[in-house]
Amino acid sequence: MAQQGIQKTQAQQASGVVQYGKYDPSVSQEEQGFFASDLDFLKLSVGDNVVRFLPPPVGWDRPYVLVKQHFIQADGMEKGFSVVCARQMARERCIICEKISEFKAMGNDIQYQLAEKMFARARAFANVIDRRNPELGPRILAFGKTVFEQLSKIAADNGDYCDPETGFDINITRVGTGQQDTKYFLIPRGSSLLGDLNWIAEATDLSKFAKIDSAEEIMRRCGDLFAPRQPARRMPGPFPPGRQLPAQPQAQPQAQPQPRQPAQRTVADDMNDTFPKGY
């Protein structure tokens, strides 16, 4: 206490006025988006976020795209990433679904938990204008089931919210920041014009979020997940022989030592940087 008193006295003595600014902690919340890897994504702040959904592109009948995707974060991965589920989106072979089945069949807790984390979950992507930063133009809002359900109810009760002339903004209130305790509450605002019609042409092509990667690309990104296991290093444990090393013929190329390729960022990376899993 005495120390603080001395410092204050010295600062005041320097010129008679306080020679420093005052930090308003509330600005840091708004600045969080600055650190997102891709500013095209809108990260909802705690509190109110007023957004305007852009209308669907020509030929579409809805302003969002719905995607079933796996979230992958295996041991040793610094951060996870998303993979569109080929089985649920296109009825094609999905190597992540196959990996989930394999892990579940192994019957131990660790693999089962990993499998559970990888189950495909639904997400939606839409072009919106952040009314707080309209100068940034259209941005991508990624959202899950709770936001989607409220949005659908607003559409049913109040009509086409994304019409540029007769639509309306929507206030999304975010409460909490954790994976488990974050909640969203949507409230329609009064009817208003979209504003700049050029935004419609500037919108992101949402179909890219539903793009299905090749099995090779997915395996490359998954790294260890598809490499033959090395139980001696990872699990010096009591696994019965035969459970440890399911042969993965398609994974053989991954096992060869090869120079690490520079990571190629994808949409899924960007999304995961911006939106924590479970969002």
Nearest-CA neighbor of 98 among 120, 122, 81, 76? 120
Q: Closer to Zn ion at the Cβ: 85 or 186?
A: 85
CB of 229 to Zn ion, least distance (A): 21
CB atoms within 10 A of CB 67: 22
Q: Does 271 bind Zn ion (CB under 5 A)?
A: no
Q: Closer to Zn ion at the Cβ: 67 or 203?
A: 67
Nearest-CA neighbor of 275 among 72, 37, 95? 37
CB of 254 to Zn ion, least distance (A): 19
Q: Closer to Zn ion at the Cβ: 166 or 214?
A: 214
CB of 69 to Zn ion, least distance (A): 8
Total residues at interface with Zn ion (CB under 5 A):
6
DSSP result, 50-98: EEEEPPPPTT-SSSEEEEEEEEE--TT-SS-EEEE-HHHHHSS--HHHH
Q: Which stretch binds Zn ion (CB under 5 A): 30-38, 107-115, 120-128, 176-184?
A: 120-128
Q: Closer to Zn ion at the Cβ: 160 or 216?
A: 216
Distance from C-alpha of 204 to C-alpha of 206, rounded to nearest angstrom: 6
Nearest-CA neighbor of 133 among 199, 54, 201, 51? 51
Say which amino acid occupies 246. Answer: P
Q: Closer to Zn ion at the Cβ: 86 or 172?
A: 86
CB of 104 to Zn ion, least distance (A): 13
Distance from C-alpha of 90 to C-alpha of 88, rounded to nearest angstrom: 6
Q: Closer to Zn ion at the Cβ: 87 or 131?
A: 87
Q: What mask of x and - would describe binding to Zn ion in positions 86 to 115, judged by CB under 5 A? A: -x------x-xx------------------
Q: Closer to Zn ion at the Cβ: 50 or 97?
A: 97
CB of 81 to Zn ion, least distance (A): 14
139-198 positions binding Zn ion, by CB under 5 A: none
Q: Closer to Zn ion at the Cβ: 96 or 162?
A: 96
58-87 positions binding Zn ion, by CB under 5 A: 85, 87
Question: For 203, left (φ over 0), alpha (ψ -120 to 50), or beta?
Answer: beta
Residue with tokens 């979230």: 71
8 A C-beta contact, residue 156 and residue 149: no
Distance set, CA 57 to CA 76, 126, 163, 176, 269 (Å): 40, 11, 12, 33, 25
CB of 218 to Zn ion, least distance (A): 10
CB atoms within 10 A of CB 178: 8
CB of 266 to Zn ion, least distance (A): 17
CB of 84 to Zn ion, least distance (A): 8
Binding site for Zn ion (CB under 5 A): 85, 87, 94, 96-97, 120
